[in-house]
Amino acid sequence: MAEESFRIGIDVGGTFTDLFLRSSDGQVGSYKVLSTPEDPSIGVLNGLETIAEARGITLRDLTARIGTIVHGTTVTTNAVLTRRGAKCGLITTDGVRDALEMRRGIRERQYDNRYTNVVPLVRRYLRRPVRERMDWRGHELRALELDDVRDAVRVLAEAKVEAVAICFLNSFANPAHERAAAEIVRAELPDAFLSVSTEILPTIRFYNRVSTTVLNAFAGPVLRDYLGSLTTRLADAGFSGVLLIMQSSGGVAAPEVTVRRPATTLLSGPAAGPRAALAVAETLGRRSSLVVDMGGTSFDASLVRDGEVELKAEGDIDRLRIALPMLDIVTIGAGGGSIGWIDPGGLLRMGPESAGAEPGPACYARGGERPACTDADLVLGYLDPAWFAGGKLPLRADLARRAIEVQVAKPLGLTIDEAAAGMYRVINANMAHGVREITVKRGLDPREFPMVVAGGAGALHACEIARELEIPTVVVPQVASILCASGMLMTDLQHDFVRSCVGPLAEIGADRLGALVDEMAAEGSAQLRSEGVPEERESLHVALDLRYLKQYHEVTVAVERDTVTRGDFETVARAFHSEHDRLYGYELSAQGTGLELINVRVRCVGRVDRTELPRIERGGGDASHAGKGRRRAFLPERGLFDDVMVYDGHALKAGDRIDGPALIERTDTTIFVTSRYAARVDDFGTCVIEARGEA
């Protein structure tokens, strides 16, 4: 008999590191350990040791049998958010070095005259201008002054920069000047991380390109050092399998590919959640779902529509523009560690500041004195202090009550219980607002989507979020607390490419478009081959960024490769008109308005074997066999405490039904079924919670 082997997904968060294991015989396991912010790779190894202990084997025995690790990380995200990335220099065209501060020339809050500009990642004296110029067609107007580049490199070397970004005007049309400058930087600053715009994002729109290139440089050394530390620790522990890194676009790539383009990991952490949510929703016969993930630090909301995860071509991270493909995720500071505080106007606020893993909420007894969401959940009776994290992290209710009393209750003239209930309501309202951002503000009705809940804290708050938005169905997967980690074993290898090709669609020949697609397809195929993907598992997806003539914003339209190569622009136009009408409620085909092409996009995908959800034993429908007793808990609909039935979530069987109010305890999460809802368990251990009228 062949020895059992494993595949593991790892999601490093701000408070917990989640691990999901699947063995070759189909068995699965989920694990959570506290993150180690000083070096996240330590938390990863701690998690692997926890798995080994649970299976009764040594760490080296475990790592020797791991075939694949898929890893999502917040290392680059945190580096940007905390401004603890590399010291960067920028070499750019003379006259435009202030583009990082000028940005698009539009203030986000146009009527707020006190709203300050975001501080660029590169200080002005480290933005070195050089004389050169290309026109928008790629014709050289002024040759590159190589002495200017050498002078810039000398200044950056004296400043001891760790990374250098190169971005010239119109280089997307002709990269010759950037390549020449890059050769000088590589020769004279061989140890510096180099980020070249035409290698990262060869597209029109200078600010998007320079900002993305600088972000790539800023995060580059941080990710390089982290992955170096991680691979060394894994190798020392005996791991010799395949390590893959989660990307913001929802795919995975090899570490050596990711290190060259670290900006692709800036939203790596939550990127796998929607893929796992799709797998869960499909077991219920649904191809669309709303995905919410409440962890220790943040709350993420995203959408899956018609079997496809929603993507966007550009976005912002802490007001800094990044123009690489990424999942369309709205993130707010609302998690189990979100701190409750009173603003100058005397109003109760929750977050965005988080207690994190250290010191953590007050109830962790790790030195935290400020009340967090978890403290309120404990005081309200939703958490069993002796059973948190399966009993591995006992909670101190007395410390939670004291923190809430001092920081919230007394300043507001409330009892401790009233203050905790207020904290619970405020953070639920914050998260409901986050869901509106991804649905209502985009013309979508949240009531039309089942809400798939992820994160260790999400299931305690899901029913109240759903009640606020009138969502009839809440879905809590068996792997809810580590949904992102489980989704990492369901993601494909993926590489995205984009080239600008600006002009009226009718005047751009099929040969030119076909050549661009072929060039990007060849580059993607080569990367997939280097990652061990056989040709029969490769697939290619083409999209065009189009707009009506004289419009400013474009619409991305998916097209077939042969539609482009044979020049079938009528089919392309019909697809564009249809998508424009869906997004904006009108289209101009009847008026004969011409279309303008901006960018050509290619996604190269290497399909991996899917991890199927395991089934559980069928029961008779009566959940009383899983009862653990009753506990006093706060009922938000009635505004009072009452005794609530508590169930062992691991003992529930398929077909069991539970009427709210009830608490369902698992080692990694607790589900609160409020009075307005009823729950049933399906064949995959998913807890499907429906409004009483819908049940």
Q: What DSSP letter does each residue of 580-595 carry, written as one string? A: HHHHHS---TTTT--E
**60 is a domain residue:** yes
Question: Residue 585 above 50 pLDDT?
Answer: yes
Residues 543 and 648 placed together within one structural domain of the fold: no
Residues forming beta bridges with residue 497, ordered by sequence position: 602
Question: Residue 1 above 60 pLDDT?
Answer: no
Question: Residue 466 above 90 pLDDT?
Answer: yes
**657 is a domain residue:** yes
Residues 595 and 629 placed together within one structural domain of the fold: no
Residues 506 and 575 placed together within one structural domain of the fold: yes
Residues 89 and 207 placed together within one structural domain of the fold: yes
Question: Residue 658 above 70 pLDDT?
Answer: yes
Residue 393: per-residue pLDDT: 82
Summarised one tens digit per residue, pLDDT across range 169-203 is: 999 999 999 999 999 999 999 999 999 999 999 99
Nearest to 413 by CA among 342, 353, 349: 342
Q: Which CATH number fits the domain that encloses residue 28?
A: 3.30.420.40
Q: Which residues contact 525 (CB under 8 A, 6 or more apart)?
A: 535, 538, 604
Residues 140 and 24 placed together within one structural domain of the fold: no
Residues 73 and 117 placed together within one structural domain of the fold: no
**586 is a domain residue:** yes
**444 is a domain residue:** no
- H or E stretch including 178? helix 176-188
Single pTM value for the model: 0.82
**362 is a domain residue:** no
Residues 206 and 253 placed together within one structural domain of the fold: no
If one counts the domains in the chain, the total is: 4
Residues 108 and 193 placed together within one structural domain of the fold: yes
Domain that holds residue 110: 84-220
**311 is a domain residue:** no
Residues 632 and 505 placed together within one structural domain of the fold: no
Q: Of the ranges 284-288, 311-315, 367-371, 407-411, which is most confident? A: 407-411
Residue 693: per-residue pLDDT: 62
Residue 535: strand, helix, or coil? helix
Nearest to 630 by CA among 663, 672, 677, 678: 663
Burial of 266 (0-12, 13-18, 19+ CB in 10 A): buried
Residue 611: per-residue pLDDT: 66
Residues 532 and 571 placed together within one structural domain of the fold: yes
Q: Which CATH number fits the domain that encloses residue 550?
A: 3.30.1490
Residue 233: per-residue pLDDT: 94
Residues 529 and 544 placed together within one structural domain of the fold: yes
